[in-house]
Structure 1
Amino acid sequence: MIVRSQKTAEAPCPAPDRAGLVVFTDLDGTLIDFHTYSPRVALPAVRALLAGGDRLVFCSSKTLEEQLAIMEQIGIRVPAIVENGSAIFLPAEDPLRPPESVATQSIYGGTLAVLGTPANTIRTTLRSLEAELGIDLEGYGKLSEDVLMARTGLAPAAAARARRRAFSETLTAQLPPEDWARVDRHLQAAGLVRRFGGRFHTVTAAGCDKGRAARAFMDWLRAASRAAAQPPGADRWVSIGLGDSANDREMLASVEQPFLVQRPDGSWTDLDLPAVHRVPGVGPHGWVHAIRSLIEPPPRRPPTPPPNC
């Protein structure tokens, strides 16, 4: 399983009969319900995935605090790509560690590999942009607690976790396309980028995205498996991606097997990814369908009776 004793020093190894799966999953509208934020539907499939020796990696615009709270609800402790690829959290229970060239922080009993720009720097740029364009982007950091809860549907503690961003800012403004285009031009000039996540917009450093972080994680994992001198083929990890929105495009493009679940209205987000599997089921229902197709053996067909002589 992905949750291991801290005494375990060797890199994890997939099951010997097949390549191990590394499942990168979006959260809102994918693993958890878009409206209720509940992971209940996906719980059995999550446990079955981890029980088989495969790996699960949260991959979301959510903060580390938010993602850890969801893990606590489920009863797991797994790696997490936070704030749209701005950092990668590796819990102490997991033996994987980033290379020495990556800046790290010790936090929440684990290691945070930092890939992005501090949130305070981003918010300073956004304030200047708003003043110049005469637009209120209504970022999380500016909203009162009551307004933030009303817009997100989050309880007070969850809203507080969402506000405490380390490497990004979430924008809740509803603007016409031409205004967003003006915003994007200014963000690009400042080395920042905006991505739409299906409900709100997240601004991060331009070099950060879910796909880049997922590729880095796979590189670290495969290198660790080879360095541990495990049996031939021990680094045979297959990357899987599950998402529901345009914000997941880079992640889905980076993996070997991408899956797209249905949105609450029953549609699939229109992504220009020919290899993506569009699975039936809204949010976590589609997530369960995809995971079962990966970890459960296909039903055996009864033998064909011999022809009558």
Structure 2
Amino acid sequence: MRPIIVFSDLDGTLLDHETYSFEAALPALSRLKQLDIPLVLASSKTAAEIAPLRAAMGFAHCPAIVENGAGVLPPDSGEDGAGTTHEKLVAALDALPAELRSCFSGFSDWDVSEIASRTGLDPSSAERARIRSFSEPGLWTGTETQLEAFRSRLLQSGIIIQKGGRFHTLSLGGNKADRVGKISLQIESKKGSRPFCLALGDAPNDIAMLEAADCGVIIPNPAHGGIPKLAGEMNGRIRRARFPGPEGWNDSVLSCIDEIEKNGT
């Protein structure tokens, strides 16, 4: 049987959108550990946020995709180890015309208490969320026309914008799908065969990752508009979970593993 690797978004997918708990996913997490299947967390969260979560889930030995794919957290590490581009993002933001800059309010504009209020995180978690190396999440309050102008001006500096479940996130390139491809190649070189990639996510910034996987699972999230119909759903390569959050994640991962084991693919 081909090696399997699971790539998963966190907020609204493996973590409950409101409580940030992954308790409902414990049976599937246990199954992954039992079968020695790597779990690569892929989130807009920072390395400082993901490292303790990854350890609590029992997958500290696996790499993690941080800040929407702008960086990678190596196995058994609490550091990104790849420099920082955050200062460039903030400088590019501050160089924008005032009428565009005023429409975007990001983590660098907020203190810890405001980050906690806007995310629902406790103060210590909010402090970790503020330690950014590669991206700047924030809220957009302008019009769609202004957003296109904002996007165009930042793109001139190489900055892209990805829409997640809560925030628009700015980065200097790189996304979750890019990292899926690179990590899969690393696994292939170690195992000697291309791994079967299962990816799960709930928001628009997960679409490329879902489409890059052998099987993608859309986790419903009532808290936002979710993901529109994707082409891969026509042939079953992309499917939708029956339940939201970690409950849907648990059900989907267990079902997919059963299918893979049964079919031997």
Offset of 1:225 from its aligned partner? 2.6
Any conservation in 2 of the 1:172–1:200 contact (CA below 8 Å)?
A: yes
* Residues 239-258 of structure 1: pairs in structure 2 closer than 5 A: 239-258=197-216
Gaps of 5+ in 1: 1-17, 93-106, 227-234, 301-309
Moved more, 74-83 or 53-62: 74-83
Secondary structure of the corresponding residue to residue 10 of structure 2 = coil
CA distance, structure 2, for counterparts of residue 265 and residue 20 of structure 1: 34
Matched with 1:259 is 217
- Of the three residues 67, 73, 83, the one matched with 1:89 is 73
Instruction: Point out 4+ residue stretches in structure 1 off by more than 6 angstroms.
Output: none
Offset of 1:113 from its aligned partner? 6.6
CA distance, structure 2, for counterparts of residue 71 and residue 196 of structure 1: 23
Question: What is the aligned-residue RMSD (CA, Å)?
Answer: 2.3
- % of aligned pairs identical? 31
Matched with 1:139 is 106
Moved more, 189-198 or 82-91: 82-91
* Residues 31-46 of structure 1: pairs in structure 2 closer than 5 A: 31-46=14-29
* Residues 99-110 of structure 1: pairs in structure 2 closer than 5 A: 108=78
Q: Say if 2:183 is the partner of 1:217.
A: yes
* Residues 1-309 of structure 1: pairs in structure 2 closer than 5 A: 18-77=1-60, 78-92=62-76, 108=78, 112=80, 114=82, 118-129=85-96, 131=98, 133-206=100-173, 208-226=174-192, 235-264=193-222, 268-274=226-232, 275-296=237-258
Q: Deviations over 1:280-306 (max 9, x none)?
A: 1101111111111122369x9xxxxxx
* TM-score, normalising length: structure 2: 0.89
* TM-score, normalising length: structure 1: 0.77
Q: Deviations over 1:172-214 (max 9, x none)?
A: 23332122111111111110111110111111113x0100011
CA distance, structure 2, for counterparts of residue 293 and residue 136 of structure 1: 43
Secondary structure of the corresponding residue to residue 105 of structure 2 = coil
Secondary structure of the corresponding residue to residue 28 of structure 1 = coil
Q: Deviations over 1:201-236 (max 9, x none)?
A: 111113x0100011000111112333xxxxxxxx24
Amino acid of the structure 2 residue aligned with 1:244: D
Amino acid of the structure 2 residue aligned with 1:269: I
Amino acid of the structure 1 residue aligned with 2:54: M
CA distance, structure 2, for counterparts of residue 188 and residue 271 of structure 1: 27
Instruction: Say which structure, 1 or 2, has more relative contact order (CA 8 Å, 6+ apart).
Output: 2
Gaps of 5+ in 2: none
Any conservation in 2 of the 1:249–1:271 contact (CA below 8 Å)?
A: no
Offset of 1:268 from its aligned partner? 4.9
Offset of 1:272 from its aligned partner? 3.0
Amino acid of the structure 2 residue aligned with 1:33: D
Gap change, CA 1:26 and 1:141, over 3 Å in 2: same
CA distance, structure 2, for counterparts of residue 285 and residue 164 of structure 1: 30
CA distance, structure 2, for counterparts of residue 197 and residue 123 of structure 1: 19
Secondary structure of the corresponding residue to residue 16 of structure 2 = coil
Secondary structure of the corresponding residue to residue 280 of structure 1 = coil
Gap change, CA 1:266 and 1:147, over 3 Å in 2: closer
